Structures are given as structure tokens and as C-alpha cells.
């Protein structure tokens, strides 16, 4: 099975979570694109969705699905999103596609967070994938110095501006064993909008595709 087929298989496993008449939370990235491409196979039409990126919004709108403002609803039933790394207790690293802040907001608003990925994303210790951190532009150098005290090497993702108008730093060389504590601590640095650790609001279930089939992971 090639990489695209694995993404499709993981995405297919999330379809039973999509409920008729409910607002759907949709993340961002190539696995989520595969998930969006499968939505027309459902026996009903999704009326409304909240999306984590303008790219996902465009794909959903192209299917005639209305995009709703999170401020106009109280909660989301199910949120489906990919990950850059899936660690112990389904804590994640996300943000490789630059959409981490909106993704974290939607995950927090959702009753169920379903993560979809291919098996290469599953790790024993988080941090091999450089940890994305969204930063207010004027604080870039100050935040880089602060991040270095946590033991990693922050690198500016030059040329990338998030959907929120901010910049991204990718912190390389981290071994994140206490993900919840690290997530909280990094968010205390003035100028950090948020970081790509999803441990305080981890996934509730993950569907991981490999050539052997689909594995369901629970915390
Ligand atoms: C975007 C993300 C994505 O979920 C993550 O990068 C995984 O993407 P892909 O499905 O393309 O591997 O966090 O900000």
C-alpha cells in the first residue's frame, strides 16, 4: 500500500464517527484531505463544519458544506484531524502544516477528538519531529532564546505566515517525556501563541494505518 492509500484507510476509519445533523470539526493536512475526499461516500450530507485552516475550508466548501463560525456554536461533537507524531496516552505533536492554533482551539471545543494517521507517526517518545511553536512576529528572537533553555534548538520556519498572521518556530532535538508539563510551560513564554503539543487535550482515539491494516489506539 502506498502512502496515499494508508491515509485513505486511516481516514475511512473515522467516517463512522460523523453524525447526521451535527457540526463536524475538521483539521488540516494531507490525511485530513483524504478524509474530506471520503465525505461524499456517507449516506447523508454534512450540513456544517468548523475547519482548522483556509485550505480545509476551501475543500469543504467545494462539497457544498457550510463553514460555521466557532463563535456561533457551543460545542462540536466530533473533531477529526491528523498528527505529526502520536505518543504515549495519545499526546500528539501537530503543526507541521502550520495550523496548530486553530487545531488546538477546535480540539478543545470538541467532545471527541479522532486522530487519523499512518503508522509511521506513532512514537514511544515525542520530539523527533521538530515541535512547532506559533509566535507573535515581534517576539521571535526573544522566544527563540527562551525556547533554547528547554534544551532544543529553535529554527525559524522562514517565509511561512500562519492563517492568524504569525510566524512559526520549529524546536529540534527535544525528548518530550512530560508532555502536559512541557505544553503548559512553553505556553507561558510571552509571545508564544501556542505550541504544537496536544497533551492537555490529547486525542480520544487514533486510527493508525499500516500495510497490516488499521489499528485503534486508546489512551
Ligand atoms: C497541520 C497538522 C497536521 O495534522 C499534521 O501536520 C499531519 O499532516 P499530514 O496528515 O499531512 O501528515 O498538524 O498543522
From first to last of the 219 residues of the chain, give the pLDDT tens digit: 899 999 999 999 999 999 999 999 999 999 999 999 999 999 999 989 999 999 999 999 999 999 999 999 988 999 999 999 999 999 999 999 999 999 999 999 999 999 999 999 999 999 999 999 999 999 999 999 999 999 999 999 999 999 999 999 999 999 999 999 999 999 999 999 999 999 999 999 999 999 999 999 999
Query: Could you tell me the CA-to-CA distances from 12 to 28, 35, 38, 158, 209 in Å, in that order?
Result: 16, 7, 7, 35, 10
Cβ–ligand 1 distance for 195 under 6 Å, the answer no
pTM: 0.96
Measured from the Cα of 32, ligand 1's closest atom is 10
Pocket test of ligand 1: the residue of 87, 93, 96 to mutate, having most ligand atoms within 8 Å of its CB, is 96
Measured from the Cα of 118, ligand 1's closest atom is 12
103 is annotated as an active-site residue: yes
Cβ–ligand 1 distance for 85 under 6 Å, the answer no
Amino acid at each position: 500500500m502506498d502512502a496515499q492509500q494508508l491515509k485513505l484507510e486511516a481516514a475511512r476509519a473515522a467516517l463512522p464517527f460523523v453524525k447526521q445533523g451535527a457540526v463536524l470539526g475538521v483539521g488540516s493536512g494531507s490525511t485530513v484531505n483524504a478524509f474530506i475526499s471520503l465525505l461524499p461516500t456517507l449516506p447523508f450530507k454534512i450540513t456544517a463544519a468548523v475547519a482548522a485552516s483556509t485550505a480545509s475550508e476551501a475543500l469543504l466548501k467545494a462539497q457544498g458544506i457550510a463553514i460555521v463560525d466557532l463563535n456561533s456554536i457551543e460545542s462540536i461533537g466530533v473533531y477529526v484531524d491528523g498528527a505529526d507524531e502520536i505518543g504515549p496516552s495519545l499526546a500528539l505533536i501537530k503543526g507541521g502544516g502550520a495550523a496548530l492554533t486553530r487545531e488546538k482551539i477546535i480540539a478543545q471545543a470538541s467532545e471527541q477528538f479522532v486522530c487519523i494517521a499512518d503508522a509511521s507517526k506513532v512514537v514511544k517518545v515525542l520530539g523527533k519531529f521538530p515541535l512547532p511553536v506559533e509566535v507573535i512576529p515581534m517576539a521571535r528572537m526573544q522566544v527563540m532564546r527562551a525556547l533554547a533553555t528547554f534544551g532544543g534548538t529553535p529554527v525559524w520556519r522562514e517565509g511561512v505566515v500562519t492563517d492568524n498572521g504569525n510566524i512559526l518556530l520549529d524546536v529540534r532535538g527535544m525528548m518530550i517525556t512530560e508532555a502536559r508539563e512541557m505544553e503548559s510551560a512553553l505556553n507561558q513564554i510571552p509571545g508564544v501563541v501556542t505550541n504544537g503539543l496536544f497533551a492537555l487535550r490529547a486525542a480520544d482515539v487514533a486510527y493508525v494505518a499500516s500495510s497490516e491494516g488499521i489499528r485503534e489506539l486508546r489512551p
